[in-house]
Amino acid sequence: MENNSKRGIVYLIGAGPGDPELLTLKALKYIKEADVALVDDLVGEEIRKLVYKECKEVIEVGKREGKHKKTQDEINQLMFSLASRGKKVARVKGGDPFIFGRGGEEAEFLAERGIEFTVIPGISSAVAAPSFAAIPLNHRKFDPGILIMPGKEKEGEERIDWKAVSDLKATIVILMGVSNLEKNVKRLIENGKSPDTRVAIIESATTERQRVIEGKLSEIVEIAKKEELKSPAVIVIGDVVSLRDKLRGSFVRP
């Protein structure tokens, strides 16, 4: 991407779900072009090593629940400051920048201040995790829709209509939902979702640590507690999960 401005530019880069081979060629190209990288915690370890190898300067800006190396406001100001000094800034995020990655907020912040940016899409864990668990998100025998949603909202700004979600004929994919699993399962059942609906939770998807736990909606919370489920994990809710029983015996992980 040609940049004729005297200012620098920000690359909003999706690094994918963790497997280094799922990093796109375009993402790698822009990581190599960058002067400085701002890296999130959910970026895969091998990709993180690559960023450190290719970039002269790397700043860790990860945000996990209760553990923020930088606030979002600080990250925004850092991007603006670096780009204003003529730097090419790689903002490296896990998954895709525009799927619950706050990439839209960052793009808006930059645009309001006249800073050029580009977006490099990444493979979201919402898609990759079910695939690596032998679960097709879409199949003609099952619900036709796919709903991707966050597992939690900002306190005091709850806008999810759980009745509409429960009634929707769609496979539900929940990201960042481990800490709110019990609350969200209760909301679904109370709003009419069948307790017998199949659920799979994919922990550390696409990495060597990946594991999958399964159960019915009514029992998945207890199973998750017993298995000591940890984030990051992708939650898939829908009867299409039942196909895993048939597919897993022949499925070879890529």
DSSP assignments along 14-46, one per residue: E-BSS-GGGS-HHHHHHHHH-SEEEE-TTS-HH
Q: What is the chain's Cα-based Rg? A: 19
Region 45-50: mean pLDDT is: 96
Check residue 155 and give its pLDDT.
Answer: 76
- Identify the helix (H) or strand (E) that includes residue 186: helix 181-190
Under 8 Å between Cβ of 92 and 119:
no
pTM: 0.93
Average model confidence (pLDDT) across the chain: 94
pLDDT recorded at residue 34: 98
Catalytic residue among 26, 35, 41, 63: 63
Task: Quote the pLDDT of residue 68.
Answer: 57
**What dihedral do alpha carbons 77, 79, 85, 89 form, nearest 10°?**
170
Annotated catalytic residue 176: yes
Q: Has 63 been annotated as catalytic?
A: yes
Q: 139-193, pLDDT tens digit by residue?
A: 999 999 999 999 998 777 789 999 999 999 999 999 999 999 999 999 999 999 9
Q: What pLDDT, on the 0 to 100 scale, is given for residue 156?
A: 76
Query: What is the pLDDT averaged over residues 122-145?
Result: 97
Report pLDDT digits (tens) over 88-115.
999 999 999 999 999 999 999 999 999 9
Chain-centroid distance of CA 113 in Å reads 27
Q: How many CA atoms lie within 13 A of 112 on its CB side?
A: 9
Active-site choice (87, 93, 96, 176): 176
All domains of the chain, ordered by start, with CATH?
Answer: 9-123 (3.40.1010.10), 126-247 (3.30.950.10)
Is 40 among the residues known to form the active site? yes
Residues 6+ apart with CB under 8 A from 1: 9, 118
Going from the C-alpha of 235 to that of each of 19, 53, 91, 131, 211, the distances in angstroms are: 19, 33, 26, 13, 12
